[in-house]
Amino acid sequence: MSDCIFCKIAKGEIPADIVHESDDLVAFRDLNPQAPTHILVIPRKHIATLNDLQEEDATLMGRLHLAARAIAEAEGIAGRGYRTVINCNAEAGQTVFHIHLHLLGGRPMGWPPG
Ligand code: DGP
């Protein structure tokens, strides 16, 4: 999508603090971090929301979670704990309509989330 900010980050058209890249995924630090570690993991493929996932995206979404695990290990938060979140649509607070996994860690977290 030509007007999608995360597609532009994935293509290197706008800058981001990238921590991980592969053929199908990019991970970068959130512009507005909510925890000491706050990284967004995205597929290069433009998928707007969880509601738009297709069966063919199953492997891609599995890789997305494996990348989150590897990044958590690299960030040194795997053992103490971290949270992954995918917001879907307005009531969940999704503001960027290119699917992304939030990887949050480095501080204690409450439950339920707000
Ligand atoms: P969500 O609310 O789940 O759609 O999360 C979108 C996140 O994306 C939010 O935490 C802020 C972050 N974000 C928005 N624009 C940019 C950007 O241009 N660069 C980076 N690094 N993060 C961004």
**HEC assignment per residue over the chain:** CCCCHHHHHHCCCCCCCEEEECCCEEEEECCCCCCCEEEEEEECCCCCCHHHCCHHHHHHHHHHHHHHHHHHHHHCCCCCCEEEECCCCHHHCCCCCCCCEEEEECCCCCCCCC
CA–centroid distance, 83 to ligand 1, in Å, is 16
pTM surpassing 0.75? yes
Question: Ligand 1, from 6, 29, 96, 97: best to mutate by most atoms within 8 Å of Cβ?
Answer: 96
Question: Ligand 1, from 17, 30, 98: best to mutate by most atoms within 8 Å of Cβ?
Answer: 30
CA–CA separation, 92 and 57 (whole Å) = 22
Q: Are 19 and 40 in contact (CB under 8 A)?
A: no
Which residues, at least 6 apart from 52, have a Cβ–Cβ distance to it below 8 Å? 99
What pLDDT tens digit does each residue of the chain (114 aa) get?
Answer: 789 999 999 999 999 999 999 999 999 999 999 999 999 999 999 999 999 999 999 999 999 999 999 999 999 999 999 999 999 999 999 999 999 999 999 999 999 998
Sorted by where each begins, the domain ranges of the chain are 5-105
CATH of 5-105, one of 3.40.1280.10, 3.30.420.40, 3.30.428.10, 1.20.1070.10: 3.30.428.10
Residue nearest to atom 2 of ligand 1 (CA): 94
CA–centroid distance, 54 to ligand 1, in Å, is 23
Residue nearest to atom 1 of ligand 1 (CA): 94
